Amino acid sequence: RFDLARHYRVDTQSAGGYFRLYNEFNDRVEISKTRYESVQIEVLDEDPVRARDMVNAMLHQADLLARRLQREKSEEVLLIAERALTNERTKLDSVEALLDSLRQATGLLVYEGQTEELTRGYLLLLSNPNVPSSRLEEVREMFHQLQESGGEFRHLTSMSDRFRANYDRLLTEYERVVNDVTKELTYTNVMVYPEVPDKKVYPIRWLIVLI
């Protein structure tokens, strides 16, 4: 972009050309740490606009590097979160399939509510002397079915609730990681922006950057 070899009048095709270009760059560009845990960048150049643009370009490259490193780490976390989410979804679907089969076989929907209603109905039948014994026997059979299926139904319902809560938690975490992967943040905080001086001087472009 800046064609520094031409600007510094260094022939990179000659022997040791890139080494001379490297030394010239090091003589003109200094990056140092300040006592405030920030970074100071100094660029010396005959062209103040070029010096300013070089500083801004370095800031831009620092942002790109930090963003790439953050994204690579987030993508690793995303794979882990995705596997955990898929595993929890599989467990939840398996339990829900068992519950659906049990509901179809027994008519159970809400164990506690249906047991309460059946008990209330049975007591009403007992209080009526005109109720045939066959009707009472039918209700007793319904109680028996509830006893046989109720334990499994409650166990599966408890597992379903637990797996669903885990799935919701993992889904929230997964969405957070997806956001980390796709977000475009600026990782440099410029305290002093480089400026082009009004009068001609051998420019020293400097700034302090918190990373």
Residue 185 has pLDDT above 90, yes or no: no
Q: What is the pLDDT of residue 171?
A: 95
Q: In terms of pLDDT, which residue wins out, 169 or 12?
A: 169
Distance of CA 150 to the CA centre of its chain: 40
Neighbours of 21 (CB within 10 A): 16
Q: What is the pLDDT of residue 80?
A: 94
Residue 134 is encoded by which pair of tokens? 């066959």
pLDDT per residue as tens digits for the range 89-125: 999 999 989 888 877 776 665 555 566 665 666 566 6
Cβ pair 186, 209 in contact under 8 A: no
Backbone angles phi, psi at 208, to 5 degrees: -115, 130
Specify the CATH number for 34-210; select among 1.10.287, 3.30.70, 1.10.1740, 1.10.260. Answer: 1.10.287
Full DSSP string of 31-85: EEE-TTS-EEEEEE-S-HHHHHHHHHHHHHHHHHHHHHHHHHHHHHHHHHHHHHH
Neighbours of 103 (CB within 10 A): 14
pLDDT per residue as tens digits for the range 116-159: 665 666 566 666 777 677 776 676 666 666 666 666 777 888 89
Cβ pair 133, 190 in contact under 8 A: no
pLDDT per residue as tens digits for the range 33-72: 888 778 888 888 888 888 888 888 988 888 888 888 888 8
